[in-house]
Amino acid sequence: MKILIADDSKIARKGVLKSLTAAFSGEFDYREASNGFEAVESFAAYRPDLVFMDLTMPEKNGIEALEEIKAMNPAAKVVIITADIQKKTTEIVSELGATGILNKPVTAEKISQIITKLV
Amino acid sequence: MMNVLNDDRKDALTEIMNISYGMATAIISDSIEAHANLHVPKIHIVGTEGLENYVNSKTSKKNNYFVSVQVFINKLDGESIFIIDDKSALQVAGIFMSDADETIENEDDIVSSIHELSNILTSACVGKIAELLELEVFFHPPAVDKQSGEKIAEYKNFENFSKIIVVETVLDFRQEKIHGLLIFLLKESSFEHLLIALDKYIEQYEI
């Protein structure tokens, strides 16, 4: 399985990776992106099976990146990981076709629940 | 332990502030029933000797500012200062008061709104830092004052603190961008506790 982890914070990317390693028993390959622009570029080039993406990122935010990724591939599986816990944000990203939303900080348990649903 | 906020520690602190801002924004947006856009907080570390220049670079002598000071104690021991110009402060009051179906009648209404906003921001930021880093902290209520731009950086108790964390904030409610400076003044022992706790926080994500 190919996974793209997009977050401007290195420690947040590490957190997703560690939680993923603990939660998912299968083999996976991954790439990292540190802003929304890189996330879209990397999605186009790498064609991941699953994307974990932050919302508040520089250059291009996660909502814009999600829109572009979904325009490229409406079936793309994008899980939003965000510190923004407003109900309206959840509605916006759901309407844009996000596969799931996890609130920061992520844990292996949260990742495990979403992976179980998706894989 | 190097007594500095290196890149990894700064990244971890920024991420924690990001989570804190998420909480604070949700509290405010729930209370005013309006969605807000969250921006990545920008964090800078300055020494006490550099704060005046830094604040002066971010403020104008021509403007007036509302300044909210809040003391927090325990393992995180220090003060927060929230600085917002009077135009943004009026916007904040407009948002808070209009939601309560009230109109701004005098400066006390603005002071009250800034009191509320700064309390939410400081409690969310320092409280979340304390929670994630397993440090206890207690808060005193904020005190809000109006100051001229010329006096803004003349803060009284610099000598009690050694490290200063500045968070540049943008709160984006109802298409209104509200800029503010949130400054945390920490005593040396608190800064050391913070670094130890940040290292522990980083270690938990090492594979």
In tens, the pLDDT along B31-46 reads 777 788 777 778 888 8
pLDDT band for position B155 (cuts 50, 70, 90): low
Tell me, what CATH number does A106's domain have? 3.40.50.2300
In tens, the pLDDT along B111-124 reads 988 988 888 888 88
Q: How many domains, chain B?
A: 1
CA distance B58 to chain A (A): 21
pLDDT band for position A5 (cuts 50, 70, 90): very high
> Residues, chain A, total?
119
Phi-psi region of A22 (alpha: psi -120 to 50; beta: other; left: phi over 0): alpha
Establish whether this prediction's ipTM goes over 0.85: no
- Cα torsion B152, B158, B162, B163 to 10°: value is -10
CB neighbourhood size of B43 (10 A): 19
Domain that holds residue A10: 2-117
Contact B39/A56, CB-based, under 8 Å?
A: yes
pTM: 0.83
Tell me, what CATH number does B82's domain have? 3.40.1550.10
Which of A57, A84, A92, A95 is the mutation pick for testing B, counting most B CBs within 10 A?
Answer: A84
- Would residue B97 count as lying in a domain? yes
Number of H helices, E strands in chain A: 5, 5
Contact A105/B19, CB-based, under 8 Å?
A: yes
Q: How many domains, chain A?
A: 1
